[in-house]
Chain A
Amino acid sequence: MTERRNILEVTGLQMVFGGLVALMDLDFAVPQGVIKAVIGPNGAGKTTIFNIITGVFPPTSGQIVFKGRKITGLKPYQITPLGVSRTFQTVELFGHMTVLENVMVGRHVRSRRGIISAGLRLPVMRREERAIREQAWACLDLVGLADKAETEAGNLPLGEQKALEIARALAAEPELLLLDEPAAGLNETETAGTAALFQRLRDQGLTILLVEHDMRLVMDVSEEVLVLNYGRKIADGRPEEIRSDPEVVKAYLGEDIEYA
């Protein structure tokens, strides 16, 4: 594999929730333009990593560097504009807003008109609003939800809610996209469609960090896999290396690894 610049570097990350160690001295990096998966049993600390990277809470110790800039301790509204965007394991959509409006909120960090120019409906604000709307439509097209634009987000089936979350995250123009179990609850066709979307996005230059339990999806799309167990890293490498790593097999994958 050719040596690439790392878009994300995590060093010495530690997270303790009131005596419970969620992450232990974790180091890893995400090279620019790859799909990297984070796998591990439930409670391994995968979602915790996402929450720390996006600034939902600060780590107990350790450092996150995004595009060469230390982002540890920044707030979500400071981190998202830098180019980090995410989806959630338990869908966190705005249920009473339409599909289009959800994605328009995704444009929040790429627009800046304030409450006064909104209230006075100044021309600059109207122009910006038009741009937000157009770009939101483009994101909906990308995930194939354009025909549902005026539906209330809460009324969509789960598969489409997951797709909508991805569209909303993309609307923020991320360079690093964090996806938390995007295939959970999806059927096989939907999962295949999702995989194709990820590869398309990667080919356009997006870097994706993916938490996923669906092993087939992980092995199909990722260039790198990070394996966690009880908050510790037990392996980090290419899928074929991971598959044959004895510790991974023992701790997590079990005998069923020879599926493919």
Chain B
Amino acid sequence: MGRNNLYGVLALAAFILVFPLVRRFDSFSHYLDIMVFVGLTGMVTMGLSLLMGYAGQISLGHAAFYGLGGYTTGIMTAKFGLSPWLALPAGMLISTAVAVAVGVPSLKLRGHYLAMATLGFGEIVFIVFNEWTALTSGPDGFGNIPRLSLWGYAFDTALANYYLVWGVAILMLIFVLNVVNSRVGRALRSIHGSELGAMAMGVNAAKYKVQVFVISAVMAAIAGSLYAHFVQFVNPPVFSLFFSIKLVMMVVIGGMTSVWGALLGAALLTFLPEWLVFLQDFDILAYGLILLLITMFLDKGLIGLPEVLYRRLVRAAGREG
């Protein structure tokens, strides 16, 4: 995965480890909760950045995969009393099946058919969550989802969930970085460089696009399962089209061609509303303005900021000297 990425992962792991020890500010427990959500959302955006930045496809239905994971876990554990360790793979399996069914036909075509297909799929899932009341309890959602436990250890505090979620998120980060820096990652990047050239080298573009889509869906499903165990409650609005769009936005804002950007985007868009609370009614205005500025001036997203600043600095130094 390359030396820089390795250092990056180590730095992130160190930060995650140390962050809870610095509990000197007031709303610490609130921040810890938000960090859990950043981790959960980051799992989804990392997969999505693989799909958008490397396979060149957009999904407008990833909230639905997140929801499939969440609801599968919720229904199997809270309603049927089954083990969470059965529910988690079940959610992954369902997401795989759905992703293959949606992805195979739409990724055989060139162009943004996947965006259309996932948009429709997301809406269908959302309707099912709302209407299949016998199973999903409808618009009210349902609670009593048990905490996750492993070998007798129950993840029943926010801190335990924080470490659990970020542990999984870092494993996913390593996985995605490995994919990017492999034969498969090169094949995906080559399609971006020259579709004809990639074709001539025997790269089966459609196959890899489907694989990446399925993997991103499974990552979202895992995040959804962990969400259900953490919040212990699921209801449809969390998994709506609005969240799908927000996920895409996180990837774009963070920097589409970097997995790190996807994490950064997830963090920024999750924290930003908290930081803007002091503006009261104007928060949404500032929120929009910040996103607008990032998309206007940082074509590589937030992850490209150091590079842009560096170039500015060099140019300024050049003018003076």
Chain B interface (Cβ < 8 Å from any Cβ of A): 1, 175-176, 178-179, 182-187, 189-190, 192-194, 196-204, 207-208, 211-212, 215
Contact = CB atoms under 8 A, between A and B. Distances in A.
Interface of A: 54, 56, 75-77, 79-81, 85-86, 88, 92-97, 101-102, 104-109, 111, 113-115, 118-121, 125, 128-129, 132, 168-169, 172
Given A80-B200, A86-B200, A96 B193 contact: yes
In the A-B complex, the 10 residue pairs with the smallest Cβ-Cβ separation, listed nearest first, are A94-B193, A80-B202, A92-B197, A118-B182, A109-B202, A119-B175, A77-B204, A92-B194, A76-B199, A105-B190
Contacts of B1: 121
Contact of A120 (B178, B203, B211): B178
Contact of A168 (B175, B196, B201): B201
A126 to B, nearest CB: 10
15 contacts: A77-B207, A81-B202, A88-B197, A92-B194, A93-B197, A94-B190, A101-B189, A105-B190, A105-B201, A106-B201, A107-B183, A108-B183, A108-B186, A115-B179, A129-B182
B193 A119 contact: no
B201 A115 contact: no
Given A94-B190, A96-B189, A97-B190, A111 B200 contact: no
A137 to B, nearest CB: 15
B197 A97 contact: no
A92 B196 contact: yes
Contacts of B196: 56, 88, 92
Given A94-B193, A121-B178, A172 B201 contact: yes
B193 A95 contact: yes
Contacts of B186: 97, 101, 104-105, 108
Given A77-B204, A108-B201, A115 B194 contact: no
B187 A105 contact: yes
B183 A113 contact: yes
Contacts of A107: 183
Nearest to B204: A77
Q: Which of B176, B194, B198, B203 has the most CB of A within 10 A?
A: B194
Nearest to B208: A115
A105 B178 contact: no
B197 A120 contact: no
A97 B193 CA distance: 8
A168 B184 CA distance: 17
A149 to B, nearest CB: 14
Contacts of A129: 182-183
B309 to A, nearest CB: 22
Nearest to B212: A115
Contacts of B203: 77, 105, 108
Q: Which of B179, B202, B211 has the most CB of A within 10 A?
A: B202
Q: Which of B178, B192, B200, B207 has the most CB of A within 10 A?
A: B200
A119 B179 contact: yes
A42 to B, nearest CB: 20
Contact of A115 (B184, B190, B192, B202): B184
